[in-house]
Amino acid sequence: MSFQDLGLNPKLLKALVAAGYNTPTPIQSQAIPHVMQGRDVQGIAQTGTGKTAAFALPIIHRLLAQPKRMPPGACRVLVLSPTRELASQIDESFRNYAKFTDIRSTVMFGGVPKGRQARAIQMGIDIVVATPGRLIDHLQDRTIRLDLVEILVLDEADHMLDLGFIVPIRRIVTTIPKERQTLFFSATMPKEIGTLAGAMLKNPAQVAVTPVATTAERIEQRVILCETSRKRIVLFDLLKGEVSGRTLVFTRTKHGADRVVKHLSEAGLFAAAIHGNKSQGQREKALAEFKSGRCRVLVATDIAARGIDVDGVSHVINFDLPNVPETYVHRIGRTARAGADGVAISLCDHEERAFLRGIEKLIRAKIPEMQGSGQQAPRQRAA
Ligand code: AMP
């Protein structure tokens, strides 16, 4: 699915191109259609999954569909965030996605003077991102009014609980119209948060993505730095050497998958490919051979792999690194089904270093480097 398929306003699509986003992350493809339709959403997702865009994009889309001018001190969208860092990031994201539109966003948090924040909403504004404490100060000062809020977002609700913000939030919510759209995001759903969500949401659509860090933690991960031209040799050596179990190899393209299978077959290693250009029959055959163990190496693209449910995959090899970090976690998660542990090895060439950095940021860990046979000593990695 692409951002165009989601039917987002062309001005947003332009901003996404400028931001270099090609594909929606899983939380985005799940949440955006519901938010665009005006439904309440309860989302389980952590920072790093792309959840900010999952709510910010469809919110801007909705505001653009029905332009309105706000009276002094009023806003159409209120986003509550537990920390000032997150509030700033969310505000920045809104500004970035709305940069080709007239939609305006501002942020308010404690620890800095209130005057500038009050002036920013003096003429009315579309979006306010705020931490609960400072928002209550502004409510008391009557520098902000929330009686025209159409959309309320609560981000990192579990973190709000940890910081003791549940009472302030309940108080804020009483000043917002009951007729509104509410989007509620939390990384986990402890009982208190479930209760809060129940009180705030009406018939919400539930969306969830795998808590990425926990999936990644259970899998032994390695990266081999090598040039693209050497990847086939490195892959073959791995499959002939330490990678002896049932192995799923991921490539970015269908042709890439075919080329890998051809190369392995020529070298005497039987492998099958599964991707969108294969007929249903071919796909079923490849999958059956993989499941039965007749063929221990299956080469797949991301889309094709989504439907594969095979237990006992011991190794995942990323022949190419994905450009969406979430995809990496979904790929390697194929080895860790039903509590089993697995090994994931990624081949990374020079051009893919940026993808590797994005992945390491997402899983909050550095992936140790391993030396592939068939290549010289590892080169120094940029920090
Ligand atoms: P978040 O979980 O909202 O904090 O986002 C994590 C990071 O992913 C941010 O740096 C975003 O700019 C980036 N990001 C969000 N969505 C996408 C996408 N569809 N493609 C590429 N990067 C994205």
Q: What is the pLDDT along the chain (383 residues), one digit of tens a residue?
A: 899 999 999 999 999 999 888 889 889 999 999 999 999 999 988 776 789 999 999 999 999 999 999 999 999 999 999 988 889 999 999 999 999 999 999 999 999 999 999 999 999 999 999 999 999 999 999 999 999 999 999 999 988 988 889 999 999 999 999 999 999 999 878 888 999 999 999 999 999 886 555 666 778 999 999 999 999 999 999 999 988 889 999 999 889 999 999 999 999 999 999 887 787 788 888 888 988 888 999 999 877 776 566 777 889 999 999 988 878 887 887 886 655 678 999 999 999 999 999 999 888 889 999 887 644 443 444 43
pLDDT of residue 339: 55
Ligand 1 center from residue 21 Cα (angstroms): 8
pLDDT of residue 284: 81
- Strand 75-80 to 105-108 pairing: unpaired
The candidate with the shortest Cα–Cα distance to 261, out of 245, 280, 247, 243, is 247
Question: 164, exposed or middle or buried, with CB in 10 Å at 0-12, 13-18, 19+?
Answer: exposed
Residue 53 Cβ < 6 Å to ligand 1: yes
The yes-or-no answer to whether 4-208 and 219-363 have a common fold is yes
DSSP conformation letters of 17-63: HHHT--S--HHHHHHHHHHHTT--EEEE--TTSSHHHHHHHHHHHHH
Ligand 1 center from residue 261 Cα (angstroms): 33
Residue 143 Cβ < 6 Å to ligand 1: no
pLDDT of residue 120: 97
Ligand 1 center from residue 343 Cα (angstroms): 26
247 forms beta bridges with 297, 315
Shortest-distance atom of ligand 1 to CA 21: 20
pLDDT of residue 212: 52
pLDDT of residue 377: 40
Ligand 1 center from residue 279 Cα (angstroms): 34
Residue 42 Cβ < 6 Å to ligand 1: no
Ligand 1, residues 4, 8, 21: which to mutate, most atoms within 8 A of Cβ?
21
What are the DSSP E strand ranges found in the chain?
Answer: 41-44, 75-80, 105-108, 125-130, 151-154, 181-186, 205-208, 219-225, 247-250, 271-274, 297-300, 315-318, 342-348
Residue 51 Cβ < 6 Å to ligand 1: yes
Question: In this structure, which residue's CA is closest to atom 8 in ligand 1?
Answer: 50
What are the boundaries of each domain within the chain? 4-208, 219-363
CB 183 within 8 A of CB 35: yes
What architecture is the 4-208 domain classified under in CATH? 3-Layer(aba) Sandwich (3.40)
CB 169 within 8 A of CB 80: yes
- Strand 105-108 to 125-130 pairing: parallel
CATH of domain 219-363: 3.40.50.300
CB 378 within 8 A of CB 225: yes
pTM of the model: 0.63
